[in-house]
Amino acid sequence: MSKLIGISTGNKDVEMAPGNISCVVINSDFVNACNNFGNTAVIFGPHENSENIDVSKFDAIVISGGGDINPNTYGEEKGEKTIRISDVRDRTELSMLKSAEENNIKTLAICRGHQLLNVYKGGTLYQDLNDNGFKDINHEKPFSDARSHIHDVNIETDTKLYEIINEKNIKVNSIHHQAIKNIGNDLKITAKSPDGVVEGIELTNDWDAIGIQWHPENMLDDPVSSKLFQWLNS
């Protein structure tokens, strides 16, 4: 039987027949990443009634990438380089994570989602890597580089992430300027880039959830991406 994979996303203004309107927008590669395994993708946009969100009917969820998380959610004031904040998306995805943990729904958190998983568990973020001394690697490589290997990632062997990928050293794309600072409760670091940026986290309790800082959906033919989406869809 086909499984249901819920995929979160944000809104974007799009020019359509009624004019320029706010639309729920997602990279279609996410849908393909579920369809490739015979499963059904359900797109989950920002909800005004986020307190009522229940993801228990999904077999798995993805918390996808996007704009920056409001620093108020982790007890900080907004820095000048923190941009594209959506409070309604933050609230929606935090509620999705809460419901997923309560119902032990398999969760793959990507880039912004990886950071939000840490915030949900009480962790904090660097609001800008460059401003905090991470200058050896340019982690913000979108557009023409979004489907290219940008830097290495070193994976700890005693982790779920290593069980999934079965490689200690991989190459990934990179489209972010923020990163995990202090790790949240019930989490452990599973991977880092050579400059020390946290590239992977996972739960230490019974919740089957992992976070990764890179974007596997942009490189579906990459063996690492294939293994991650195979795990998600299994």
> pLDDT tens-digit profile of 8-53?
999 999 999 989 999 999 999 999 999 999 999 999 999 999 999 9
In the three-class reduction of DSSP (H, G, I as helix; E, B as strand; rest coil), residue 103 is classed as coil
Q: How far apart are CA 27 and CA 98, in angstroms?
A: 24
pLDDT of residue 93: 98
SS3 30: helix
pLDDT digits (tens, 9 = 90+) for 92-121: 999 999 999 999 999 999 999 999 999 999
Domains of the chain: total = 1
pLDDT value of position 1: 80
What domain range includes position 138? 4-233
* Count of C-beta atoms within a 10 Å radius of residue 71: 18
User: Is pTM beyond 0.75 here?
Assistant: yes
70 Cβ contact list (under 8 Å, min separation 6): 78, 85, 87, 90
Say if CB 41 and CB 30 are below 8 A apart.
yes
**Which CATH number goes with the domain that contains 207?**
3.40.50.880
Helix axes 112-120, 87-102, angle to 10 degrees: 60
User: Band of the pLDDT at 68, cuts 50, 70, 90?
Assistant: very high
154 has pLDDT over 90: yes
Q: Which residue has the tokens 């998600």?
A: 232
Yes or no: say if 61 and 111 are a contact pair by the CB < 8 Å rule.
no
Which residues are catalytically annotated? 111, 215, 217
- Residue 101 confidence (pLDDT): 98
Q: Please answer whether residues 203 and 196 qualify as being in contact, where contact means their C-beta atoms are separated by less than 8 angstroms.
A: no
pLDDT tens, position by position, 116-150: 999 999 999 999 999 999 999 999 999 999 999 99
